[in-house]
A and B are shown apart, each in its own frame.
Chain A
């Protein structure tokens, strides 16, 4: 790999990224985690660079994480939300991106309900585009931060059994994790009701289960997906009660996994629905570590894509 192999690239999804590239993001993230654990966590790495976050969906965690990542590296971060953008006046996405580029943005970070919009937009502008979650497609920095967190706690991913539980059909987190974790050598299992599994999912590099007992057997990692309650109105599951009984991760169901299995959740959580009320606070939970990993991973992404000269600036 050359010294700046990812400079100028986009980060649109983890599908198609090879093991070396994924490893490069994770190794770089480790350097940035050291920085954000310092007393003074600001470095001049991206001084004079402007980073725009363009969010067409509500998000606190991801947007703040990107904003913090940029600011810790001294970039100027400008946040635009869907309601303040020109789309409400009928402007097309392409025109919005051309405008942001003309405003001399050095990187555009996008969250959108439309699958594929970041990939389409990346073809319209020259600056790097980072996908901060697009519809049901991918959420690559989430996938990276999950891989980073697992590796940190459990060591190399090769051979680790990871069970991803819940609403796989609507989950971009699930898709990014399937690609990222499988490329890194993990054994990925998907668990959930048939109604929340997309068609032909078993043709991906995964094993599909519809009971926790089989899906969690021998798991090193249990990753719980957020369940949106409005899915009930589409007859995707009968009640919150039955969902928790059959697919909720709690102290009882977690026993199907290995005794030292870790529990992850991308947030925001519905305590008592997809995850037991006390479990996120328990000793097996790494949910708060995921959030910290997220900042480090996003710093790494900005650093690598913007081709900065050195981690310390």
Chain B
């Protein structure tokens, strides 16, 4: 394994309060030193990082890699490759696969095979209930022993509050974070886009924001009651952000994430029945976009996660109501943050990297998110000013379902290093 020196980059390492020009020395797969003018010997691979951002490896804790069972949408190689191409050194995959990731052997299989891909690291999120059917708990202790880092029923959100209470109590006992897609599905029944003026004009059933806000309130109360580490997935509305803020102030063990599309695209993108603008939670309004940017800035949204959800083209080429929810995100996430949060002055680099790396690692309780000497050398090098145009056809991911195809963005990962190995760039 080569020794690498990242020379003269702007190092942003929120965990160590570093935000300055520095060299980063990587030796034997770990961070050896961060400092000024580190000496080089002949056999060191020196990379000039002048004008570039050097950050702890980005981590996306909410992706769908579709294995096992739906490899036509994505597989470990394409998904972890897409992650590396997007600057992510690790991702956490959701369990809504076929079969559902609800038993230890499936977790072990994924963990083992992901290592052979030699791209981004994989962390596995197991189901909260067997088959994600919300009726029986999974064997959480065994799942954890097999390597699962969290439990979630994601979009198959538990509606029964007693079952959710029990699940959270049990998860707290085995110290697994509970990741919740907050949606009251009675109130949102049949909806396919944000409920508002656009859904009224288009004659599409709405997903009212209140269905999501109501369930965030339930999650906050149950987090206080059970003490479970509770993480709110993909927050999309101003009201949800306010509720998260409220429960954090009360001391609830609560964290939250939002996704890039929620701060830069509104439900107007659905006009023309664009199925690449269909996801759940749905795109909201410009007021919600502003609220999401502010909630990232002030830390109410601890993390940024994409909910990367690849689908085959033919699945998205259907009547709007029949097309599946979800868009891909791994290869556009970083640039959407740089373009719409950093270049607009809404969020600092330190907070952005904190939300893209440091906090995600903390939320799922894994190593990473820091350049502390001795830590595994997971590093992302970012060209912050480069301008590029999204070309979905050239994605490493099998999914081309993005509303950003053809959009010009700023900033891109130019090198992704995992455990001291360059896996992209």
A47 interfacial by beta-carbon distance below 8 Å = no
Chain B at the A interface: mostly helix, strand, loop or mixed?
loop
B202 interfacial by beta-carbon distance below 8 Å = yes
- Bound CA–CA A164/B160 (angstroms): 41
In the assembled complex, the CB of B268 is this many whole angstroms from the nearest CB of chain A, namely 13
**8 chain-A/chain-B pairs, Cβ below 8 angstroms:** A94-B317, A114-B322, A115-B202, A115-B273, A120-B273, A137-B203, A199-B196, A199-B197
Q: Are A199 and B195 in contact (CB under 8 A)?
A: yes
B390 interfacial by beta-carbon distance below 8 Å = no
In the complex, chain B residues whose CB is within 8 Å of the CB of A203: 197
In the complex, chain B residues whose CB is within 8 Å of the CB of A134: 203
- Bound CA–CA A234/B201 (angstroms): 22
Q: Are B314 and A92 in contact (CB under 8 A)?
A: yes
Q: Are B319 and A114 in contact (CB under 8 A)?
A: yes
Q: Are A199 and B319 in contact (CB under 8 A)?
A: no
B208 interfacial by beta-carbon distance below 8 Å = yes
Q: Are B201 and A204 in contact (CB under 8 A)?
A: yes
In the assembled complex, the CB of B127 is this many whole angstroms from the nearest CB of chain A, namely 29
A222 interfacial by beta-carbon distance below 8 Å = no
Give the residues from 179 to 226 in chain B that come closer than 8 angstroms, CB to CB, to chain A. Answer: 195-197, 199-206, 208
**Given contact pairs A92-B314, A199-B206, A120 touches B320 in the complex (Cβ within 8 A):** yes
9 pairs of A and B residues whose beta carbons are closest in the complex: A137-B203, A116-B273, A136-B203, A114-B319, A115-B203, A200-B197, A198-B200, A117-B319, A116-B320
Partner pick for A112 among B195, B199, B201, B319, CB 8 A cutoff = B319
A172 interfacial by beta-carbon distance below 8 Å = yes
**Given contact pairs A93-B318, A112-B319, A175 touches B196 in the complex (Cβ within 8 A):** no
Give the residues from 145 to 199 in chain B that come closer than 8 angstroms, CB to CB, to chain A. Answer: 195-197, 199
**Given contact pairs A199-B196, A199-B208, A200-B196, A114 touches B321 in the complex (Cβ within 8 A):** yes
A146 interfacial by beta-carbon distance below 8 Å = no
Range of interface residues on A (Cβ < 8 Å): 20 to 34
In the complex, chain B residues whose CB is within 8 Å of the CB of A117: 273, 319-320
In the complex, chain A residues whose CB is within 8 Å of the CB of B203: 115-116, 134-138, 172, 175
Give the residues from 128 to 176 in chain A that come closer than 8 angstroms, CB to CB, to chain B. Answer: 134-138, 172, 175
A119 interfacial by beta-carbon distance below 8 Å = yes
A80-121 CB contact bits vs B (8 Å, 1 = yes)? Answer: 000000000000111000000000000000001011110110
Q: Are B317 and A137 in contact (CB under 8 A)?
A: no
Q: Give chain A's interface residues, CB within 8 Å of chain B.
A: 15, 92-94, 112, 114-117, 119-120, 134-138, 172, 175, 198-201, 203-204
**Given contact pairs A199-B195, A199-B206, A119 touches B273 in the complex (Cβ within 8 A):** yes
In the complex, chain A residues whose CB is within 8 Å of the CB of B200: 198-201, 204
In the complex, chain A residues whose CB is within 8 Å of the CB of B319: 93, 112, 114, 116-117, 120
- Bound CA–CA A199/B320 (angstroms): 19
In the assembled complex, the CB of A121 is this many whole angstroms from the nearest CB of chain B, namely 9
In the assembled complex, the CB of A36 is this many whole angstroms from the nearest CB of chain B, namely 31
In the complex, chain A residues whose CB is within 8 Å of the CB of B272: 119
- Bound CA–CA A116/B314 (angstroms): 17
In the complex, chain B residues whose CB is within 8 Å of the CB of A198: 199-200, 206
In the assembled complex, the CB of B67 is this many whole angstroms from the nearest CB of chain A, namely 25
In the complex, chain A residues whose CB is within 8 Å of the CB of B205: 136
Partner pick for B199 among A92, A199, A204, CB 8 A cutoff = A199
In the complex, chain B residues whose CB is within 8 Å of the CB of A15: 201
Chain A residue nearest in CB terms to B314? A92
Give the residues from 336 to 391 in chain B that come closer than 8 angstroms, CB to CB, to chain A. Answer: none
Please give 9 more A-B residue pairs, beta carbons under 8 A apart, in addition to A92-B318, A136-B205: A114-B320, A114-B321, A115-B273, A116-B202, A116-B204, A116-B320, A175-B201, A199-B206, A199-B208
Partner pick for B321 among A115, A119, A138, A200, CB 8 A cutoff = A115
In the assembled complex, the CB of B385 is this many whole angstroms from the nearest CB of chain A, namely 36
- Bound CA–CA A20/B344 (angstroms): 43
